């Protein structure tokens, strides 16, 4: 899945404004709210790719410091703490897109910022870690 996300991001990036330049919040908002099918696909793949990249980066960071986990619950707990957001497995891609669009529309002053940062802010705001979403490590 991660390889597919990377391929799709690269493919759709060729259609994005600036052709390789960092995507701004304004460009992502236009892609996510417009009528063009290609731009809508870019929006979906971009948000999915940012999420995958954040999780992958967390994994790499933990591995680089020698972190070891006995089970998946410990691992998920550490990733959730590092990222500062908890997206449940029941959260659909459309919900994640809606959270990003909502954040962008409510923060027009930050639309010049690189979109990946704004996606992270939107996720932290819309999907905070609550006790039912953060699996506590076994005692």
For 36-76, the pLDDT digits (tens) are 999 999 999 999 999 989 988 887 787 788 877 777 777 77
- How many other C-beta atoms are found inside a 10 Å radius of the C-beta of residue 32? 21
Interval 111-127 mean pLDDT: 95
Domain count for the chain: 1
Is the distance from CB of 9 to CB of 51 less than 8 angstroms?
no
Is the distance from CB of 23 to CB of 46 less than 8 angstroms?
yes
> Is residue 61 one of the residues assigned to a domain?
yes
Q: Which segments of 7-83 are extended strands (E)? A: none
> Is residue 131 one of the residues assigned to a domain?
no
> Is residue 7 one of the residues assigned to a domain?
yes
Sign of CA dihedral 9, 14, 16, 19: positive
> Is residue 39 one of the residues assigned to a domain?
yes
> Is residue 139 one of the residues assigned to a domain?
no
> Is residue 109 one of the residues assigned to a domain?
yes
Distance CA 123, CA 111 (A): 16
pLDDT at 86 exceeding the cut of 90: no
Lowest-pLDDT choice from 35-39, 81-85, 112-116, 131-135: 131-135
> Is residue 108 one of the residues assigned to a domain?
yes
- Global confidence as pTM: 0.76
Q: Is 18 left (phi over 0), alpha (psi -120 to 50) or beta?
A: left
Distance CA 69, CA 87 (A): 21
What range does the domain containing 12 cover?
A: 2-126
> Is residue 102 one of the residues assigned to a domain?
yes
């Amino acid at each position: 899945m991660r390889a597919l996300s990377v391929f799709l991001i690269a493919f759709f990036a060729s259609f994005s404004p600036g052709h390789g330049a960092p995507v701004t919040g304004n460009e992502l908002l236009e892609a996510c709210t417009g009528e063009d099918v290609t731009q809508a696909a870019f929006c979906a793949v971009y948000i999915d790719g940012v999420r995958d990249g954040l999780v992958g980066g967390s994994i790499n960071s933990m591995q680089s410091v020698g972190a070891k986990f006995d089970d998946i619950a410990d691992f998920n707990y550490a990733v959730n703490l590092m990222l500062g957001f908890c997206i449940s497995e029941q959260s659909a891609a459309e919900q994640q897109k809606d959270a990003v669009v909502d954040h962008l529309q409510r923060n027009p002053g930050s639309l010049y910022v690189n979109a990946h940062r704004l996606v992270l802010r939107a996720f932290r705001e819309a999907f905070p870690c609550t006790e039912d979403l953060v699996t506590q490590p076994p005692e």
